[in-house]
Chains A and B, each alone.
Chain A
Amino acid sequence: MTGMASTIWLPLFALFYGAVMLYWVRVSMIASSSGDGFFSAGHALSPWISALVIAGASMTGWFVLGGSQQIAEQGFQMPVLIVGGVLLALPGTLFFKRLWFVAERMRVSSQAEIFRVYYQSAFLVVVSVAVALLFALGFAGLQIRAIASFIDLLTGGTVSRLSASVVLGFILFAGAGIGGMRAIGLFGVIQTVLAFAGIIALSGFALIWSGGFAALNAGLLELSTNDASAGLFTVNGVIHFTSGLGRGGELADANTALANLSFAFALMGFQASPLIIKLVLSTGSPNGIAAGQTWVTAGFFGAVIAFCIALTGAAGLVDRDLALGGLFSALQTGSPWFAAWIFIGIAAGVQLLAGLALFVAGEGLIRHIYRPYFHSRLSKQGAVTLTRIAIAVLAVLAMLMENLTPVTLSALAALALPMAFQLWTPLLGVTWLPWITRPAAVTGVGFGIAGVLLTEPLGYQVLSFFGLELPWGRWPWTIHSALWGMAANVAAVLIISAITNRSALGPEAREIRQLFSGLLATSGKAQGLRSTAWSVTLAWFFLAVGPGLIFGNGAFVATGESGPVWLLGMPSLWAWSLAAWISGLGLIWFLSYKMEMASPVHVAIPPYEPPLRLKKDKSAEEQERLRILILTGAVGFALTVLIAFSFGG
């Protein structure tokens, strides 16, 4: 095939994709021109649209890039990845329904606003926005960088990574910045469908080129009998008391059950992040949450992960030429139309996440920080314009970081999921655990963030810069930073909730509590199943992602005359994880429907009427606040330079 013939397809498909995106941006702008649809799509996204887009944003692009790559490099040491569909769906099952009703009652549309209304805490608002920024700059930025590298590869260097990331930045701004939340929601459906089609097609090629399922597993079996690579197929013990990566601990040794469990917690941070909650609160009705979380996220997309992504990774494990980069190269040479279609699908999945992250971060900066604390007289139209500018600035910043500071980008990306997981405690306080007090939630999140920072490269490198060398590295004791942070978080929440006044709630928080104990009270039947739910959930966690994974090492292996035999024709841990996925799907169904955590409710929720308060001019106070912020920033910068100059460098 000539060079021209093989390279024409990617630009051609990309052109189609861009045209379709602009069409939906236009549709969204027309629909939003009559009201305030820019920030929350007029709270009118259909439940099926939200269910699909939540599932798409939760796993498509980043799972195929990161998940298959991880399996290709580290084998089945982290089987928790294979049950990703269930783990990603679990937080949504717990939180989405109740958060939607809180937002409906209080007429708010984002996680930061819920924290402001319930806890009246500026700190939690800032943390929520910071998490969105981490996703926009780090998490999504890293994936855009990977996508730009693939464009470089597929075009044979004709389009460099820098040019590709600039173009992708423009596309992101056009989608999220101009069209707003409605464009993200509507076009997100097409992106999700394209992404899952791309993932399935890619795994099909991986399977064909591996010689079929039996040949692929024969290759895996051969690897497992080799002493050097046998460790790729086992979870090695419950815990290793290492000092962490970079301090004597090796990545190859970080394959314990606790490494899996703590990584599962990190994955569970995604649907607690402000990104996904923004999608939920832009939905017109909560009645699709149960079906979406159970059948779309845990069921269908869970299957795509358990089979397709695992298969793509396994093909790369057996043959390095079939790792993601090699697969795309081979496709580009033999079937450039398929390469273009599949690549556009995966890029669409990444764009969905990146666009959503940029939008939520931009909105957070302007609508949740700048407007309420520094410029309360800013008009709605002014807020839209400033948010667009913020999104553009963030897109440029992300693009610069992708090309100039990949190490920092990677360090920021690593923080996104564990930091989002720290938001579980305030979210539990709003939805299920009324005894979590405001000081407890705030301190807990503060401690959680400290726990994460101290066990991730960014934290210990910043401390090292100031001359303080921590004795541990990344993920000490093979425990992911998400769990270290949560341990500190939960400890602080329990202690402080015990010693602070639990009835000191604001009027809005009291209103929310009344809503949950009245209209939305759990039925007696579901309450009767509470102990069953706890038992089943804990048992599932123990066996599917916790210490029980040790049983998975040998559950489906027999000893034959010529060596080990895989009873199901696949690695034992893969088969164990498939069983965990199926039982996990049952768990999500049970929690969603039987425990009524996400089940449909048909009640009308009138808007909350806040007590009338005298409006006062806050401009002087806001100017003073801005002055203090600038002064604090300047003093902080000077102190930083001084300390770094004195002790670090």
Chain B
Amino acid sequence: MSKAAMVERDLLVFSIWAVLGFGGLALLLEGFSRDSYMISLAGTLTIVAGFVAHIVVNGVFDCGFRPGEAALGIAAFGALALAFIGGWAVGGLSPTDYWSGLTLFSVLAVGLPAYLSTRYGLRGAFSRFHVRHADDGKPAA
């Protein structure tokens, strides 16, 4: 991919997350604050829409997630999970909050294998994790 194309792709990715990422986060927080599962669900769906848009952009520019993006995504997922578990541990979650959080994490957890299987196929997705040493060209012991 040329440098100019990479810049354009990054611009689109930043724009997507500026709107759908932060908008989704705001909706999620609104849902937690108002104890409304529907608003939280709208937030979750907005974030999913952000992922879908990001994947579409990747498809258009024929590339995958960049290492920095993957690291940021995993870190954000970890931070959210930590906040959720912390909230649950101190008993600060209402049943609606609890289900809202579970919905978000379930969707994100299902989203990862779904993305990998659409990009690499079911077998290829498995191979992203299962590294076969025989492929290194060395004779098996």
Cβ 8 A contact of B4, one of A44, A189, A335, A337: A44
Contacts of B29 in A (CB 8 A): 335, 337
B25 beta carbon closer than 8 Å to chain A = yes
- Which of B10-18, B59-67, B96-104, B112-120 faces chain A? B10-18
A190 to B33, CA, bound (A): 28
Cβ 8 A contact of B23, one of A20, A49, A341: A341
- Which of A144-152, A193-201, A543-551 faces chain B? A193-201
Looking at the assembled complex, report how far the CB atom of A45 sits from the nearest CB atom of chain B, in whole angstroms. Answer: 10
| Cβ contact within 8 Å between A335 and B26 | yes
Cβ 8 A contact of A194, one of B7, B18, B26, B30: B18
Residue of A nearest to B33 (CB): A335
Q: A49-B11, A186-B11, A189-B11 are in contact. Are A337 and B26 (CB under 8 A)?
A: yes
Cβ 8 A contact of B18, one of A27, A31, A193: A193
| Cβ contact within 8 Å between A20 and B30 | no
Q: A27-B7, A186-B11, A189-B11 are in contact. Are A335 and B30 (CB under 8 A)?
A: yes
Q: A27-B7, A44-B4 are in contact. Are A193 and B15 (CB under 8 A)?
A: yes
Contacts of A46 in B (CB 8 A): 4, 8
A556 beta carbon closer than 8 Å to chain B = no
Interface residues on B, range: 10 to 19
Which A residues between 1 and 25 are near B, CB-CB below 8 angstroms? 1, 13, 16, 20
Which B residues between 70 and 118 are near A, CB-CB below 8 angstroms? none
Which A residues between 524 and 577 are near B, CB-CB below 8 angstroms? none
The total of chain A residues at the interface (CB under 8 A) is 20
| Cβ contact within 8 Å between B7 and A186 | yes
Bitwise interface map of B from 24 to 36 toward A, beta carbon under 8 Å scored 1, else 0: 0110011001000
Contacts of B15 in A (CB 8 A): 189-190, 193-194
Which A residues between 320 and 376 are near B, CB-CB below 8 angstroms? 335, 337-338, 341
| Cβ contact within 8 Å between B14 and A49 | no
Q: A27-B7, A186-B7, A190-B14 are in contact. Are A197 and B30 (CB under 8 A)?
A: no
Residue of B nearest to A194 (CB): B18
Cβ 8 A contact of B30, one of A186, A189, A193, A338: A338
| Cβ contact within 8 Å between B25 and A193 | no
| Cβ contact within 8 Å between A49 and B26 | no
| Cβ contact within 8 Å between B19 and A194 | yes
Cβ 8 A contact of B26, one of A44, A186, A338: A338
Contacts of B33 in A (CB 8 A): 1, 335
Contacts of B7 in A (CB 8 A): 27, 31, 186
Contacts of A13 in B (CB 8 A): 22
Residue of B nearest to A188 (CB): B11
Looking at the assembled complex, report how far the CB atom of A31 sits from the nearest CB atom of chain B, in whole angstroms. Answer: 8
Contacts of A337 in B (CB 8 A): 25-26, 29-30
Bitwise interface map of A from 284 to 322 toward B, beta carbon under 8 Å scored 1, else 0: 000000000000000000000000000000000000000
Contacts of A1 in B (CB 8 A): 33
Residue of B nearest to A17 (CB): B18
Cβ 8 A contact of B8, one of A49, A190, A335, A338: A49
Contacts of A201 in B (CB 8 A): 23
Residue of A nearest to B22 (CB): A341
Contacts of A20 in B (CB 8 A): 14, 18
Contacts of A44 in B (CB 8 A): 4
| Cβ contact within 8 Å between B19 and A197 | yes
| Cβ contact within 8 Å between B8 and A341 | no
A509 to B22, CA, bound (A): 51
Contacts of B10 in A (CB 8 A): 27
Contacts of B19 in A (CB 8 A): 193-194, 197
Looking at the assembled complex, report how far the CB atom of A135 sits from the nearest CB atom of chain B, in whole angstroms. Answer: 25
Looking at the assembled complex, report how far the CB atom of B86 sits from the nearest CB atom of chain A, in whole angstroms. Answer: 16
Which A residues between 571 and 615 are near B, CB-CB below 8 angstroms? none
Looking at the assembled complex, report how far the CB atom of B121 sits from the nearest CB atom of chain A, in whole angstroms. Answer: 32
Looking at the assembled complex, report how far the CB atom of A541 sits from the nearest CB atom of chain B, in whole angstroms. Answer: 35
Contacts of B3 in A (CB 8 A): 31
B interface list, Cβ under 8 A from A: 3-4, 7-8, 10-11, 14-15, 18-19, 22-23, 25-26, 29-30, 33
Chain A to chain B: the 8 pairs with minimum beta-carbon distance, closest first: A193-B15, A197-B19, A337-B26, A337-B29, A338-B26, A189-B11, A341-B26, A194-B18
| 15 A/B residue pairs, CB under 8 Å, sorted by A | A46-B4, A49-B11, A186-B7, A189-B11, A190-B18, A193-B15, A194-B18, A197-B18, A197-B23, A335-B26, A335-B29, A337-B25, A337-B26, A337-B30, A341-B26
A interface list, Cβ under 8 A from B: 1, 13, 16, 20, 27, 31, 44, 46, 49, 186, 189-190, 193-194, 197, 201, 335, 337-338, 341
8 further A-B contacts with Cβ under 8 Å, apart from A186-B11, A190-B18, A341-B23, are A16-B22, A44-B4, A193-B15, A193-B18, A335-B30, A335-B33, A337-B25, A338-B30
